[in-house]
Structure 1
Amino acid sequence: MPRTPKFHRETALNNALKLFWRKGYHATSMKDIEEEMDMRPGSIYAAFGNKEALFKETLEKFAVLATEEFEQTLAQSSSILQGISLYLRNIAVMTSNESPTKACMLVKTLLEFTPEDKTFSEPAKAYLDEFERGFTDAFKLAQQRGEIGRAQSPERLGRLLQTNVIGLRTMAGRGLPQQQLESLADDIIARIIPAS
């Protein structure tokens, strides 16, 4: 039997990611998965394994996409600090059409599962650790380029940025008016982006 082309597998995986992101693991039934992926149960198991394996793969996919989004934003900016500011503003202006939910899928996963349920909580924590390292590395590069002073701690700034990204996404999930979200992003930028 010929293998499913990668494009179709990626499309199915993206559909599963959107479903899990929107509903969470427990509220998503196999019937939901079949309908969202437009696949029969046997095909899903052959391509992705069981529901648990599929969910883990969607978590990984989410982490990759989120990392790429941050890196692309930095790459298109004239400075690291400008890129970080743009990244925060982009979160504030995201529409519901661009994502199934404005909340971070990894944070939603941590809230859905207890710390004892390491099957899903541990990968979510590990991906969040990777994001924090990415933010820290960005501030280290900004420091090397002279955008922030040597007295600043890239590690503390990276953790502070991650905390505020999570908070901003959570506030967006509350349904705050667009103008308030953008003002909140500007307030976060004013407090996070340090003076040289």
Structure 2
Amino acid sequence: MDIFSKNIIAEKLLFVFWSNGYHLTTLQDLQHELDMRPGSIYYKLGNKEALCRLAMEFYIDGLNSKFLEAKTKSESPIKVLKEFVVLLLKDFKSTSPNYLCFLMKIMTEINDRNSPLFTSAKIAIDSFHFKIESLLIEARERGEIRNATCCKSTAILIQSFIDGVRIATKKSTHDVAIADITDDFFGFLF
């Protein structure tokens, strides 16, 4: 399977699993979305867990792309971080079928901490916390934020802000100015 076909399939899988959740996604949902017979799905793509993992990889690749895009726009770690948050939230507002981060949705739905899907989602979330924390450490070293700033706690706070804005934008009946809200939030933080 070429990368183009794999990405199209992964995007469709992401939509189904993100909309329905892992446990509520049925074989019929997958058949309908992929326009494939069950035997073909299992033969070409694997079982339900493998399909969800493919969706997670596609989602993580999208996060990484946004992070790299943000890094190309500024030398300032704080500006990179703000840009990343804005890119993430704007894309999320227009494309996501659910107000939860896909990785968070998988983690909250799968209660088994020993599950490979739970572990993969947690590793990905921890990786993004580390990226945010690293930018904050760099910002502190450059004097962009206070020396007393706890970068680990602030990274978690920024993730909480992202999750909160996601919920607000999905539940709101009026247009939310994501860039303005992000500027205000970073103004409060730093």
Indicate conservation of the 8 Å contact 2:9/2:34, yes or no.
yes
1:54: Cα distance to partner? 1.0
Contact 1:168 1:185 in 2 (8 A): no
Counterpart pick for 2:85 among 70, 81, 88: 88
The equivalent of 2:26 in structure 1 is: 29
- SS of the counterpart of 2:16? helix
Q: Which residue of 2 aligns with 1:11?
A: 8
| Residue equivalent to 2:59 | 62
Asked if residue 191 in structure 1 is aligned to residue 188 in structure 2, the reply is: yes
**Conserved? CA contact 1:110–1:121, under 8 Å:** yes
Tell me the alpha carbon deviations over residues 61-103 of structure 1, each in whole angstroms, 9 at most, x when there is no partner: 2122113212312321352212222333344544754333342
Unpaired stretches in structure 2, ≥5 consecutive residues: none
* Aligned counterparts of 1:147 and 1:63: Cα–Cα separation in 2: 28
Code of the residue aligned with 1:21 in structure 2: it is W
Query: Whole-Å Cα distance in 2 between the matches of residues 45 and 7 of structure 1?
Result: 19
TM-score (norm 2): 0.84
How far the C-alpha of 1:8 sits from its partner, in A, is 1.2
Scaled by the length of structure 1, the TM-score of the pair is: 0.82
**What percentage of residue pairs aligned between the two structures are identical?**
26
- Note the 1:1-196 alignment, pairs <5 A: 4-94=1-91, 96-116=93-113, 118-175=115-172, 177-179=174-176, 184-192=181-189, 194=190
* Root-mean-square deviation (Å): 2.5
Cα deviation for residue 153 of structure 1 reads 2.7
Query: CA separation in 1, counterparts of 2:169 and 2:184?
Result: 15
Verify the 8 A CA contact 1:89 1:186 in the aligned structure 2.
Answer: no
Q: 1:180 to 1:68 in 2, by over 3 A?
A: closer
- Distance 1:5-1:60 versus aligned 2 partners, 3 A rule: closer
Structure 1, unaligned runs of 5 or more: none
- Output one character per residue of 1:100-156: Cα deviation in whole Å (capped at 9) or x when no partner: 334210111122222456343222222111110010111122233332243323222
